Amino acid sequence: MRSLIISTIVFTLGMASSAMATGSYGSLDLGYLGRPVPSMGNGGRFDYDIANESSLSLPAGWDLNRYDSPSAVMPGGQDGVDDLFTFCIETNQFVPGNSSSNTFMVDPEAIGGTLDRLGDYYYSLAVQPGNFVEAGAFQLATWETVFGNSDMTDGFISSGSYTSAAINLATTWLASVTGSNPLPDLLDTRMISLTNASFQDQVTQITAVPEAAALIVWTFVGGAIGLVVYRRHILVQSAENSPLN
C-alpha cells in the first residue's frame, strides 16, 4: 500500500509538471543591463531590467525570479525587484548590446527536466551571492544540455574563456542531475525561455509563490491519497461480493 501511495503521488506530481509545461506565457519587454559580476567569457549571466510585463501571463501563482542588479541603465528600473538574471541557449546570435527595450516571447522551456534541475543549482544555491565560476558552470551545463550529451564528455564548449573550476563544477552539476540518483526536480521552480528572432534566445527561472506551491503539493497529495482510498474501497467490495464469502 505504501508503494502504491508513493507511486500515485509521483504520478500526480508528474501530471502537475506536465500541465505546467503547456501553452505560451505571452511576452515581456526587457532592457539589457549588461553582464555585471558574476559572469564569465562569452557566456554567463546576463542582467535585464523588466521594462513592461503587462503582456506576460504566467500560470496562476507563479512569478519571475526577480533581483536587483548593480546597473541603473533603464529609466524607471532598479526598484530592488525589477531585474532578471538569464543565460543563453543558443550560440549563433548576440544579446541586444544596449539598454533599449526589446520584446521577448515567454514560453515553457521545451527541454525541461534536466534544465529545471540545473536551474535549482544556480538560482537556489549559487545566485546569492554567486560568483563567476558558478555563472560559467551553469552556462556550460546549459549549453551541454541543449547541444551536447548532458555529461561534458563530448567536448562541447561554446566560444569563451572558462576556467577549469567552472568546467569541473558544470561536470559535477550535470552528473548530479542525470546520474542514477538525480537531484529532484522541484515542483515549485521551472525554467522558461525568452525568445526574440533578432537576439540570442535565453532562459530564466520562475517560482511558485509559497502559498501556491503548498496548494499545488497538497492538492495532488490529497488526490493521490483519495485515489488509494477509492481503490481500497473497490477491493473490499470485490472481496465481499466474491463467491467464496
Q: Which tens digit of pLDDT belongs to each residue from 15-28?
A: 444 445 567 999 99
Distance CA 6, CA 20 (A): 21
More confident residue, 147 or 26: 26
Residue 101: is its pLDDT beyond 80?
yes
Side chain identity at 228, as an amino acid letter? V
Name the pTM for this structure. Answer: 0.74
* Residue 176: burial class (beta carbons within 10 Å; 0-12, 13-18, 19+): middle
Rounding to the nearest 10 degrees, give the CA dihedral for residues 152, 153, 157, 163. Answer: 70
Quote the cell numbers at residue 17. Answer: 509538471
Asked if 123 contacts 132 with a C-beta cutoff of 8 angstroms, the reply is: no
Q: Confidence band (pLDDT; 50, 70, 90) for 80?
A: low
Give pLDDT, residue 204: 96
* pLDDT single digits (tens) 33-49: 877 666 665 567 888 98
Max avg pLDDT among 61-65, 224-228, 232-236: 61-65
Of 117, 127, 138, 144, whose CA–CA distance to 40 is shortest? 138
Tell me the C-alpha to C-alpha distance, in Å, between residue 12 and each of 16, 109, 199, 211, 224: 6, 21, 37, 19, 7
Q: How many CB atoms lie within 10 A of CB 179?
A: 10
Q: What is the pLDDT of residue 149?
A: 74
